Amino acid sequence: MNIRYPIWNDQCSNIRFSIFRLFLVIIVFVIGTSFSIAQPIVKIGSKLFTESVILGDITSQIFEANGINTEYNEQLGGTRILWNALLAEEIDVYPDYTGTIIQEILQENEIDSFEELEFSLNNFGVGITKPLGFNNTYALGMNKEKAQELNLNSISDLRSVPELRYGFSNEFLDRNDGWKGLSEFYGIEAENVTGLDHDLAYRGLEVENIDVIDLYSTDAEIEYYDLKVLKDDQNFFPTYQAVLLYRLELEKTNPEAITLLGKLESAIPEQTMIAMNSAVKLDKRTDEEVASEFLKENLQLNSTIERNTLWDRLLVNTLGHLYLVGISLGLAILIAIPLGVTAAKIKAVEGSIIGFVGILQTIPSLALLVFMIPLLGIGSVPAMAALFLYSLLPIVRNTHSGIKGISEPVMESAYALGLPNAVILKKIELPLALPTILAGIKTSAVINVGTATLGALIGAGGYGQPILTGIRLDSTALILEGAIPAALLALLVQGFFDLIEKWATK
């Protein structure tokens, strides 16, 4: 029989107040921490690849050595993310390349001189240094033997061998000055094109999983793997002079910083850059070290670099990770349980609540992180927002089903006692649903710990940071430095909630 218990009494209980208070504390905490981040310091960003990270380190160290406080968000993402972060004032300086700026950012073909480029950028409130001294153009490369075998010397030659397997970095694949434009310009028909991480591409070439990859002409690996660079015989690729982009406001707020950036102009010849890339990627030295050496040798500048031990890094990454997981999960619990209760109690919104959190869960985590950037910028706040949304579903669903699952006779007896709904919720429904709710929180927490590693992609720190750097440097040790603690933390969280569950169902 279908029994409907009318919600006739709406006496307020004190749970609602205590939840409200907890909420306030968390909001104050979040706002507090974001203020502490907003000190007057120069924020530097870099792209995902080693050269960009080194240039960021050089910039950061030249500032620090001259008493300017910096915050360095390395490996923030691709061109779009860095550019948007600059416009959104999330960062103040980052390294880029003239060709990239013209083709990919401004998307203008009318720019013929550096002055015109500077003028266009100024319209966005962005300044540009003079070229740093080297041209890092795109190129296509392949194994020498394979090139010889097929008699390939230039990019035009690729037209005759459509069966070649191409493996390109994802950004190159989509860019106008990348594969999209190149294949059209040269009229290359390719059957087999895949996107992959640039640092992994060399590996793929070595084990002959792919035949042709994109190169940066200053990559240390070209020489190391003895690769054939295919000649851009029809001059498709523009020049990619390395420059630093900065927010024009810096000229007013921190003119000394601009002067220092000027010292880097024409200071890095191509061979020097290749050597630095090689030192990091092949000799496995740290970005900071290599940058510091460069400043010492070329600008007679002594920069101190912090030497973090494994334990220091582990501590920083653990705290960063716990920060992301703790706040996002805490907020999710505070929001999801009332949502689940509402869904269980009010038929009119049941479908929409369960449906909404379900849809959130279907968005790929990487995409959700990127969606957050225009709304919340980069760093830990957007990452936490994404993780928060992800954590909702298991808790909402379990709260809902936990309450719905209470047997009808029990609910009938509860209402028959003449208790208000709030008291029934607190004394009967929530305690009876507690094991199910806890199971939902456990699921959320474990997923959250894993997903939070992706936060590093938008500069949120945590265990994802060493994984990201490890992929860039092809360093298994670094990858494990993030992966093992992340796995351990997931197990720990699981064990912790198992204990709580045991205690709650005692």
Partner 1 sequence: MISAKNISKSYSSKDVLKNIDLNISAGNTVALIGPSGCGKSTLLRIIMGLIEADSGFILIDGETVSKENVLQVRQKIGYVIQKGGLFPHLTARENATLASEYLGWSTSKTEERLSELADLVQIDKNMLNRKPDDLSGGQAQRISLIRALMLDPKIILLDEPLGSIDPLVRHELQSDLKKIFHELQKTVLLVTHDLGEAAFLGNEIVLMKEGEIVQQGDIRQIISNPVNEFVEQFVSAQRSPLEGY
**Residues that bind partner 1 in the complex, under the rule CB under 8 A:** 1-6, 8-9, 407, 409-410, 412-420, 423, 427-428, 431-432
What are the residues facing 127 on neighbouring strands?
A: 246
CB of 449 to partner 1, least distance (A): 30
Q: Is 376 helix (H, G, I), strand (E, B) or coil?
A: helix
Enter the tokens of residue 506.
Answer: 């005692």
Using an 8 Å Cβ cutoff, are 53 and 472 in contact? yes
CB of 415 to partner 1, least distance (A): 6
In 3D space, the residue among 70, 86, 87, 80 whose CA is nearest the CA of residue 48 turns out to be 80
126 or 428, CB closer to partner 1? Answer: 428
In 3D space, the residue among 365, 364, 366, 342 whose CA is nearest the CA of residue 354 turns out to be 342
304 or 413, CB closer to partner 1? Answer: 413
282 or 419, CB closer to partner 1? Answer: 419
Residue 425 DSSP label: I
Separation of alpha carbons 227 and 100, rounded Å: 24
80 or 426, CB closer to partner 1? Answer: 426
CB of 506 to partner 1, least distance (A): 10
CB of 436 to partner 1, least distance (A): 13
40 or 409, CB closer to partner 1? Answer: 409
Separation of alpha carbons 455 and 465, rounded Å: 8
CB of 402 to partner 1, least distance (A): 12
CB of 377 to partner 1, least distance (A): 46
DSSP string, 179-219: HHHHHHHHT---SEEEE--HHHHHHHHHTTS-SEEEEETT-
263 or 404, CB closer to partner 1? Answer: 404
| Site of tokens 């660079």 | 229
6 or 32, CB closer to partner 1? Answer: 6
261 or 433, CB closer to partner 1? Answer: 433
What are the residues facing 244 on neighbouring strands?
A: 95
DSSP string, 15-27: HHHHHHHHHHHHH
367 or 417, CB closer to partner 1? Answer: 417
CB of 352 to partner 1, least distance (A): 24
How do the residues of the chain divide into helix, strand and coil, expressed in percent and rounded to 5?
Answer: 65, 10, 25
CB of 326 to partner 1, least distance (A): 29
DSSP string, 99-147: HHIIIIII--S---SHHHHHHHHHTTTEEEPPP-S-B--EEEEEEHHHH
- One-letter amino acid at 197 equals D
> How far does Cα 75 stand from its chain's mean position?
8
CB of 494 to partner 1, least distance (A): 24
